[in-house]
Amino acid sequence: MKSIKAKLIVYFSVIIFLSSIIIGFISILRATESLTNEVEKALGSLAFDAARLTESRIETQKKTLLMIAMREDIKSMNWEIQQPILQRQIKNTNFLDIAVVQPDGTAYYSTGTTSKLREMEYVRKAFSGETYISDLLIDSTTGEIVVMYAAPIERDGKVVGALIGRREGEALNRITDDSGYGESGYAYMINLKGTVVAHPDRNKVHNQWNPINEVKNDESLKSVSTSAATSFA
């Protein structure tokens, strides 16, 4: 009798123990799933807020440049009149420099330097009547990463020139630097081609790192590449 009782006690103890393990495991899975969902929602919210902030700042700069382009003294296309106006505007904006581009593609900067920009996409867009922002570019004179804004200069319904503004590319990095998650999480930004335009590792930005292209040589980047591709598909 004692032997049977002991066996039953052991039997039920094992059942209770296994049941506890199973219930605990299920609880952990549900808690993990719930936590993952909350983290995903939080990350989605952070990404949305960062995107809205970026869009807002870009639109502000575009409108600032467009307002300058609409001034009558800028519309005159007389450089002797335009240059002192641009020099004053530099102090009131976040642009590193502003230039007027003549129809032949010659850009006259407020500092007095000139440059041939006829083939640059942002200049072509401005001459087609569009206010435009470029991808990140490497400044040929300073080697710094910059973003170029462009707006048409119109007079009597015709585009007679373009106004361009150079902005430091670091401005995008400052947005992502403030958008990390937790202690070790970080944010980065890509353009429509999948090229990184803002990242805690500045070398990736300067080298125009593209995870979609790099995955061909490094399989460990597959998840990052997939995420990047999905972001703008």
Check whether residue 31 and residue 117 sit in a common domain: yes
Q: Is the pLDDT of residue 84 over 90?
A: yes
Q: Does 4 reside within a domain?
A: yes
Alpha-carbon Rg for the chain in angstroms: 28
What pLDDT shows up at residue 228?
Answer: 46
Q: Is the pLDDT of residue 39 over 70?
A: no
Range of the domain at 211: 188-233
Confidence of residue 10 (pLDDT cuts 50, 70, 90): low
Condensed to tens digits (0 to 9), the pLDDT of residues 217-232 reads 665 555 554 444 444 3
Q: Does 25 reside within a domain?
A: yes
What pLDDT shows up at residue 160?
Answer: 96
- Domain closes at, from 150, 175, 200: 175
Q: Is the pLDDT of residue 82 over 80?
A: yes
Check whether residue 23 and residue 63 sit in a common domain: yes
Instruction: Look at residue 165 and give its three-state secondary structure.
Output: strand
Contacts of 96 (CB under 8 A, 6+ apart): 146, 166, 167, 168
What pLDDT shows up at residue 153?
Answer: 97
Read out DSSP for 102-127?
A: -TTSEEEETTS-EEE-TT-HHHHHHH
Check whether residue 225 and residue 167 sit in a common domain: no
What pLDDT shows up at residue 223?
Answer: 52
Q: Does 103 reside within a domain?
A: yes
Q: Does 182 reside within a domain?
A: no
Check whether residue 133 and residue 59 sit in a common domain: yes
What pLDDT shows up at residue 232?
Answer: 38
Check whether residue 120 and residue 154 sit in a common domain: yes
Condensed to tens digits (0 to 9), the pLDDT of residues 24-34 reads 777 777 777 76
Q: Does 86 reside within a domain?
A: yes
Q: Which residue has the higher pLDDT, 222 or 123?
A: 123
Q: What is the mean pLDDT of the chain?
A: 79
Number of domains in the chain: 2
What pLDDT shows up at residue 106?
Answer: 94
Nearest CA to 112 out of 139, 70, 82, 91 is that of 82
Q: Does 194 reside within a domain?
A: yes
